[in-house]
Structure 1
């Protein structure tokens, strides 16, 4: 592996936004002004600024990819890059795979401005105080030089130190250090000679760092294999925010959609579905996989080579339907309390979305008709069981394709075909005794506890209600110190602590019920409930629900829940 050395000045003046751009897979610029100031301090202090990774795209292939320009004038109110136009660029181009934040910071510091809000909106540019003597501190966080983003070059009246604020970008006007040195001597004529010498030294250092020393070293990735470039990009960025495989596919899609901007559409739609209900963390990977899955006769393998122009045109033509079915799927599962934490496999949503597409009933999710409500509950139960059985845990494209084939083979879409889907998944529609025993040991707040509890309420009205997992016998009652203070035996303490935080001691209450109950002892709170409360929450019929009867409660409720889960078979 060999690196290409360049000076900062050469890259800024000759390459950025001329032959070097940002691929659509890059996230947006995130640095604040102090980060830029620290970068320039490191450069002046002769600290390394790490290496860079550029992807060389041959001229004849450059139009396959959408790219974006680097910011010069950055505005925190509108932090979106402008799309690059390759017209008139008759040569190979470079897309920056690693180093975007640093290169953008250099470009802003030398050629542009940074607009941000601090009590009011301020448009600032990078300056260097040429009168500050550079002294290294023992504190590595303290800067040696005084770079600062300012609205102008006027000295601060609140600071009595010597100040001469030099606009850093002006150094680009001089082809040699001697010319820059002569210019600053002229401007500072009549000033204290020691301050002038300090300014001259800093100007010479600044010019040398930008135009003489080759501080930018980048590796050229020249592969035409897009999938390899994806992997190179992801590996290069694992130290920061994990970037999704979809990001580079978005670059392809953006270049090939005819009327819509794929990047904006997919970003906006991903944000849209993630705001449904209590919120989700569905990524662009999920949305793009859904786009492939919900478009007829497309391969669902998630590879760049499948994002050809004809395939992407099919997705674009089908985009409204894709959004509608994915959105309705998320709305439906949100209604039943499936949240980001318990949605163990997002791929399990795709067969539901495909079914909604095939059923083609626009109001199925919002319908209150008896048959539609029954169908909604079938989907809820199927999803909970499939997730609890980890049916999509090792899901592959083959699994999803098989379920697609099952749904395509159906002639009747009045009811979600759970039996045919489960047969293809190789799972039963109910639970074995061994599975039930395992489910009953599930702890409060785990990824599975809500799924199990939701199956215990087949007749519940889930629409627009939020349900909380509640400890029937309050959690606070089981603190070790309190149990010992009550004189409970060591053996009983072990049993109490084994079961109090499991599904056996949990129920789903509305938010208001849970707030009202709080830590009230169960034997005091139960008499305040309606006559159907025990049946509704699968509670055993006991003469007394005192704390000392907890183990009796555990044994009786274990039997009730086990029976209910046995009967849950679809």
Structure 2
């Protein structure tokens, strides 16, 4: 009974932090297997007597490592709505459990990168047991007590389907051209806006050119082809037309055309210079801002560009 109460109390504590989470009992049971260096398959036989005893004996440290990780998620502005893979957080808990520290800004930056790659590339969504075993093995050969949490810990990890934690230009292009506003764009924006205190203020994903400007009625006045209209209506929700904006400011901006909003003294990050902000020139704005964001992501992930 005590073990069950410990699990329920720990989950209740974790899920109530920040803007709330949805850590499940299955998640915590699998996490305990990961931390105990046991088989990660969530099956009865995985919980042999030795593993159960290890969990009982070290429950305090196991649960502290988990709660520490959750508090770190809160500090970098994440909550249930922005986590597409809870399993991706388990290697972070393992790092903490093995004596690692993640309180520095440098460590938090690397955790953002790790989670953004894990979720954007869906590394823990397919063959999750393989992903958990492989990342744990990388951490087992790493001195967590003496070294910081860095993305490069997982450079040698290759998962089922030849998937890796390395980011290539093709990955960035895929994110920019396919991920519409939601959890994936949020965590990528968090990389692009590293100085924002996401845990202290409510930041919204704002459309640079307002979402409503692309609705059928207003956009029809531009005389665009039906194909272009549909293309722009898709592009409005992609990263090159998104920014972080404090909640109250976003509500104030609302339907204001981008040109007017900038003319009122506001600005946006990655604003291309010398480019028209009229809606009729959206394609040029989108293309040029995409280049700026792409360049910054290439810098963040330290991708070496090979020129012929």
Bin the TM-score by the shorter chain.
Answer: 0.7 to 0.9
Structure 2 residue aligned with 1:391: 123
Structure 1 residue aligned with 2:6: 265
| Unaligned segments of structure 2, at least 5 residues | 303-308
Structure 1 residue aligned with 2:95: 355
Q: State the shift of 1:402 in Å.
A: 2.6
Larger strand share, 1 or 2: 1
Residues 419-434 of structure 1 aligned to structure 2 (within 5 Å):
419-425=152-158, 426-432=163-169, 434=170
Distance 1:501 1:398, change over 3 A: closer
Structure 2 residue aligned with 1:210: none
Could you tell me which of 274, 280, 292 is aligned with 2:33? 292
Q: State the shift of 1:529 in Å.
A: 4.3
Q: State the shift of 1:428 in Å.
A: 4.7
Could you tell me which of 18, 41, 54 is aligned with 1:314? 54
| Unaligned segments of structure 1, at least 5 residues | 1-253, 255-260, 366-371
Secondary structure in structure 1 of the residue aligned to 2:244: strand
Cα distance per residue 1:90-124 (max 9 Å; x no partner) = xxxxxxxxxxxxxxxxxxxxxxxxxxxxxxxxxxx
Separation in structure 1 between the aligned mates of residue 171 and residue 75 of structure 2, nearest angstrom: 27
Cα distance per residue 1:283-331 (max 9 Å; x no partner) = 1011111122223x53433221232444323212211111111111122
1:404 aligns with 2:136: yes
Separation in structure 2 between the aligned mates of residue 301 and residue 483 of structure 1, nearest angstrom: 52
Q: State the shift of 1:355 in Å.
A: 0.7
TM-score in terms of structure 2 length: 0.86
Distance 1:435 1:418, change over 3 A: closer
Q: State the shift of 1:343 in Å.
A: 1.8
1:441–1:502 contact (8 Å) kept in structure 2? yes
Structure 2 residue aligned with 1:545: 277
Structure 1 residue aligned with 2:305: none
1:274–1:282 contact (8 Å) kept in structure 2? yes
RCO comparison, higher one (Cα < 8 Å, 6+) = 2
1:488 aligns with 2:220: no
Could you tell me which of 231, 235, 242 is aligned with 1:499? 235
Separation in structure 2 between the aligned mates of residue 442 and residue 529 of structure 1, nearest angstrom: 31
Distance 1:358 1:329, change over 3 A: same
Distance 1:517 1:360, change over 3 A: same
TM-score in terms of structure 1 length: 0.49
Secondary structure in structure 2 of the residue aligned to 1:455: helix
Q: State the shift of 1:555 in Å.
A: 1.6
Q: State the shift of 1:560 in Å.
A: 1.3
Structure 2 residue aligned with 1:416: 149
Distance 1:268 1:529, change over 3 A: farther
Separation in structure 1 between the aligned mates of residue 41 and residue 237 of structure 2, nearest angstrom: 42
**Larger Rg belongs to:** 1
Larger helix share, 1 or 2: 2
Q: CA RMSD in A?
A: 2.3
Secondary structure in structure 1 of the residue aligned to 2:164: coil
Separation in structure 2 between the aligned mates of residue 543 and residue 300 of structure 1, nearest angstrom: 52
1:446 aligns with 2:186: no
Q: State the shift of 1:487 in Å.
A: 4.1
2:110–2:150 contact (8 Å) kept in structure 1? no
1:504–1:557 contact (8 Å) kept in structure 2? yes
Secondary structure in structure 1 of the residue aligned to 2:98: helix
Separation in structure 1 between the aligned mates of residue 275 and residue 166 of structure 2, nearest angstrom: 36
Q: State the shift of 1:341 in Å.
A: 3.5
1:516 aligns with 2:252: yes
